[in-house]
Amino acid sequence: MNTGTTWQTVSTSLENTAQLDRTVGSNLKGGEVIELVSDLGGGKTTFVRGLAEGMGSHDKVASPSFTISREYKAGDLTLYHFDFYRLSDPGIVANELAEVVDDPKAVVAVEWADIVEDVLPADKLTIRIKTTGEFTREFTFAYSEKLQYLIPENT
Ligand code: ADP
Ligand code: MG
């Protein structure tokens, strides 16, 4: 059953996107799971960078493509950044993911989550990013009601 709702916005520049990402980051309380969906170069990792900034983290955000997961500290919260790009078997990392999605002091952001979809909770925010031009992106947020406080429009 889908009790979720959606919100859409467009970004016309990197700075525009950074503002959006930081706003979502500043709304986080811990315990949230964010799934990022786009083509390569759509802006998933860029989103996590702004998210970390918005959470007040000073850690450097980079693509975890080779390490699969990264952690950034933000006050008493930890942002876990997963990227399952081109992995056909998530292996032990799926266990790590399952653990952190239940941690109220963790925020979890996942790129290329298809192979771990069953590990993600029903209450999550899914952000789809569509590339509409070199510097323009269309964002669609799909979220369960419980997470509506994350949506920039509502804050
Ligand atoms: P992904 O993780 O989805 O593969 P990245 O975040 O690594 O994508 O790359 C997105 C690229 O798109 C970056 O090089 C970024 O500078 C560029 N870009 C240009 N305009 C925008 C925009 N408006 N929003 C987000 N990214 C943008
Ligand atoms: Mg990426």
Question: C-alpha angle with apex 100: 77 to 19, nearest 5 degrees?
Answer: 50
> What is the 3-state secondary structure of 130-143?
EECCCCCEEEEEEE
Q: What is the pTM of this model?
A: 0.95
Find the ligand nearest to 40 CA.
1
Q: Is the CB of 46 within 6 Å of ligand 1?
A: yes
Residue 53 CA to ligand 1 center (angstroms) comes to 16
Mean pLDDT of 62-86: 92
Question: Which residue, among 33, 12, 15, has the nearest Cα to 23 in the 3D structure?
Answer: 15
Contact 4, 142 (CB under 8 A): yes
pLDDT, tens digit, 9 for 90 and up, residues 121-146: 999 999 999 999 999 999 999 999 99
pLDDT, tens digit, 9 for 90 and up, residues 56-73: 999 999 988 777 899 999
How many Å apart are CA 120 and CA 6, to the nearest integer? 18
